[in-house]
Amino acid sequence: MIRERHLFGPGPSNPYPEATRALAEPLLGHLDPEFLRIMDETCDMLRTVWGTDNARTLPLSATGSAGMEAAFVNTVHPGDVVVVAVNGLFGQRMTDVAARCGAEVVAVEHDWGHPVDVDRVLSAHPSPAIIAAVHAETSTGVRSDIAALGAGKGDALLLTDAVTSIGGIELRADAWGVDIGYAGTQKCLGVAPGLAPFTINDRAFERRVEKPRSWYLDLGMLGGYVGEAGVKGGQRTYHHTAPTAMVASLHGGLTRILDEGLEAVWARHQEAGDTLQAGLQEMGLELFAAEGSRLPELTTVKVPEGVDSAAVRTQLLDRHGIEIGAGAGAYAASVWRIGLMGRNARPDAVLLVLAALQDVLDRA
Amino acid sequence: MIRERHLFGPGPSNPYPEATRALAEPLLGHLDPEFLRIMDETCDMLRTVWGTDNARTLPLSATGSAGMEAAFVNTVHPGDVVVVAVNGLFGQRMTDVAARCGAEVVAVEHDWGHPVDVDRVLSAHPSPAIIAAVHAETSTGVRSDIAALGAGKGDALLLTDAVTSIGGIELRADAWGVDIGYAGTQKCLGVAPGLAPFTINDRAFERRVEKPRSWYLDLGMLGGYVGEAGVKGGQRTYHHTAPTAMVASLHGGLTRILDEGLEAVWARHQEAGDTLQAGLQEMGLELFAAEGSRLPELTTVKVPEGVDSAAVRTQLLDRHGIEIGAGAGAYAASVWRIGLMGRNARPDAVLLVLAALQDVLDRA
């Protein structure tokens, strides 16, 4: 028997009940007409949460990190210049993944905790093939201005990580000029980890690598897998066995979000984050992310001087069943990450995490 | 509400109840001590079903096809000669995946429905870096002799697809000389699709590509992810967010199998397959796979002259809630594939599928 946790870290979050219930439904085969309907509806709902009309919008059959890999492996031709905005761990990771795909990487480094400096990124190279940036940096709790990058990208493709933003804050891939985007299911979409919601527009697809180094993530073949309109006449072709339980679960989570209304869900995240951040500051704690760029769904807070970061997290877990995250990279011991995502973006969760943190700090 | 199916196709099969129940348990974070215990136990149980002591035995966070990609992308150096035994769709796929990794592929073609010709494969090249073969061809229902390939491999690495054999028929990776193996969860392991059980021994790991083209499937980094003994002193390092619900489900399925006893599970699959194959022949149907090499867990049968293959499958699904598979590749319309895997390897399932097929054929 597993003791229930409050998953208030940087992800996974506690799934929406609709997502969990779908996992317990009878399993369907990946070619079952009923499953194909679920897959079609899932792709449609993903278009809504991405803010896109892209035909090629689908859940890749692996976690968000594989979404990053799919984004680069399908679009980087050997020697392509890829400008990467690095303002946290996931920007850093992009440089590694892009380099493995043969890119000439131009990394634009930022201090962690600050948003992407759009001017520096846009002027980093005169004619990059791709400009890549993270919308919501999971490592620092910072939001960057993707729309401004899209407005200034010129002929480059704009590649965006939306792992921690999708389903939690405003995201408008088409309006912002995002050409390639990937995300995860286990944050604000409120579904267990295991799939990577992905979207690519025609402009990027036409420039893709014809035969990418990855067979599993080859978007040319995956078109047939989900049978999108316009791809092989909408015919389904077998590529790999879809993870049917996880897709059904994503369907459940997305249904819940769209029933509530996407803008209402964004507002719920904003309110929870605002209240949490005000409460933490009232407790005398200092926030890590730069003011004006703080994500509501993921709050970073500095560990007070003299407090053992790991001991506090262990106490929270053992006493109260609450998981919060350590900091990332160099900030592992000096920052906590508190996520109120998906189902957890609620007033009662805010009260609980504030009270529990106060309780544990009082005992320290 | 989803109507329950009898999943008697080539996979997925109906999960073991223990695997389904685990999906409905409270979700755990990927760094939760409780989850780390589940992951450790899962890797241990995977060693048992693989028949290996390999420290590097883990569930990759994607479906079986990604297991194939991980096997090649980590071990093929540019220009390496890779001999691939092709006796079905999955051997064919290996040639594509290996070529994308830069291999010089030597494909040894066989007629579909027949096992791998060990002598031809072993003599196809004087000094291959890798010899690759499928243990149980999902496309044809044929078993090949992996032990004989292992005995004759010389200095080459032996890479084996065990997607449809693991947890269903005898598999002894170490005793047979398998250096690299991948599998899937959705066949005889009786778990939903979504993970790729993977194993690699020290001999293959030492020859691996230092920085493979895939970041997501880089085994050098994944060592830290599962914290195996001897890898970075057993320290866990964050690589990607583990698909915690699916890993818990695999833990449930493996627990069930090992509680019953692995050899008892193999015997149950053998008995179900033998009974099914005898029954189909008594109905006057002809089996497709060569006698002596028929998989018990996946039976291929020729569609009788004049019968509409797809119509029969639709009738089985609509009237009886039974899914069976079409043939693969050139045999799509002329062969059916009937799988009795995992939970479905039972006498009552044999009776049901035989009676239902007779019923539908009688009405045709």
Amino acid at A183: A
Give me the mean pLDDT over the A328-346 stretch: 97
> What pLDDT, in 10s, does the model give residues A176-188?
999 999 999 999 9
CA dist., res. B326 & res. B322, Å (int): 13
> What pLDDT, in 10s, does the model give residues B14-26?
999 999 999 999 9
Find the helix packing angle between A244-260 and A17-24, rounded to 10°: 150
For B5, the closest of A4, A26, A69 (CB atoms) is: A26
> What pLDDT, in 10s, does the model give residues A70-95?
999 999 999 999 999 999 999 999 99
Burial degree of A59 (CB within 10 A; 0-12, 13-18, 19+): buried
Please indicate whether, in this complex, the C-beta atoms of A243 and B194 are within 8 angstroms of each other: yes
The tokens describing B318, both together, are 């609509």
> What pLDDT, in 10s, does the model give residues A37-65?
999 999 999 999 999 999 999 999 999 99
Spelled out in words, what is the top-level CATH class assigned to the domain A6-12+262-363? alpha beta
> What pLDDT, in 10s, does the model give residues B214-244?
999 999 998 777 765 445 445 677 899 999 9
The DSSP symbol for A163 reads: T
**The predicted structure's pLDDT at residue B230:** 44
Q: pLDDT category, B173, cuts 50, 70, 90?
A: very high
Give me the mean pLDDT over the A292-305 stretch: 98
Interstrand relation of A325-326 and B325-326 (parallel, antiparallel or unpaired): unpaired
**The predicted structure's pLDDT at residue A332:** 96
Interstrand relation of B335-339 and B298-302 (parallel, antiparallel or unpaired): antiparallel
**The predicted structure's pLDDT at residue A230:** 43
Please indicate whether, in this complex, the C-beta atoms of B61 and A66 are within 8 angstroms of each other: yes
> What pLDDT, in 10s, does the model give residues B295-340?
999 999 999 999 999 999 999 999 999 999 999 999 999 999 999 9
Give me the mean pLDDT over the A279-293 stretch: 98
Residue pair B163/B90 in contact (Cβ under 8 Å)? The answer is: yes
Query: In which residue are the tokens 């947890």 written?
Result: B167
> What pLDDT, in 10s, does the model give residues B255-275?
999 999 999 999 999 999 999
Minimal CA–CA distance to B206: which of B100, B56, B99, B97? Answer: B56
Question: Looking at the predicted structure, is the pLDDT value of residue A229 above 70?
Answer: no
Closest CA in chain B for residue A18? B24
**pLDDT more than 70, % of chain B:** 97
CATH 3.90.1150.10 domain span(s) along chain B: 6-12+262-363
For the domain A17-259, what is the CATH code? 3.40.640.10
**The predicted structure's pLDDT at residue B234:** 57
CATH 3.40.640.10 domain span(s) along chain B: 17-259
Q: pLDDT category, A232, cuts 50, 70, 90?
A: very low
Please indicate whether, in this complex, the C-beta atoms of B186 and A241 are within 8 angstroms of each other: yes
> What pLDDT, in 10s, does the model give residues A85-137?
999 999 999 999 999 999 999 999 999 999 999 999 999 999 999 999 999 99
Q: Does A4 touch chain B (CB under 8 A)?
A: yes
Mean pLDDT, chain A, rounded, equals 96
Please indicate whether, in this complex, the C-beta atoms of B5 and A29 are within 8 angstroms of each other: yes
Question: Looking at the predicted structure, is the pLDDT value of residue B145 above 60?
Answer: yes
Q: pLDDT category, B188, cuts 50, 70, 90?
A: very high
The tokens describing B90, both together, are 């999955």
| Among B residues 308-347, those touching chain A with beta carbons less than 8 Å apart | 317, 323
> What pLDDT, in 10s, does the model give residues B149-159?
999 999 999 99
**The predicted structure's pLDDT at residue A228:** 59
**The predicted structure's pLDDT at residue B58:** 96
Cis peptide before A10 (omega within 30 of 0): no
Q: What is the DSSP string of B160-229?
A: EE-TTTTTTS---HHHHT-SEEE--SSSTT-S-S--EEEEE-HHHHHTS-SS-S-STT-HHHHHHHHT-T
Give me the mean pLDDT over the B162-184 stretch: 98
Q: pLDDT category, A211, cuts 50, 70, 90?
A: very high
Q: What is the DSSP string of B71-96?
A: HHHTT--TT-EEEEEESSHHHHHHHH
Find the helix packing angle between B309-320 and B347-363, rounded to 10°: 120
**The predicted structure's pLDDT at residue A225:** 76
Please indicate whether, in this complex, the C-beta atoms of B7 and A24 are within 8 angstroms of each other: no
Measured between beta carbons, which residues in chain B are less than 8 angstroms from residue A23? 20, 23-24, 245
Q: pLDDT category, A237, cuts 50, 70, 90?
A: confident
| Among A residues 54-93, those touching chain B with beta carbons less than 8 Å apart | 61-66, 68-69, 73, 93
B142 forms beta bridges with: B137, B294
Mutate to test the interface with B, among A23, A30, A237 (most CBs of B within 10 A): A23
Please indicate whether, in this complex, the C-beta atoms of A246 and B246 are within 8 angstroms of each other: yes
Please indicate whether, in this complex, the C-beta atoms of B241 and A184 are within 8 angstroms of each other: yes
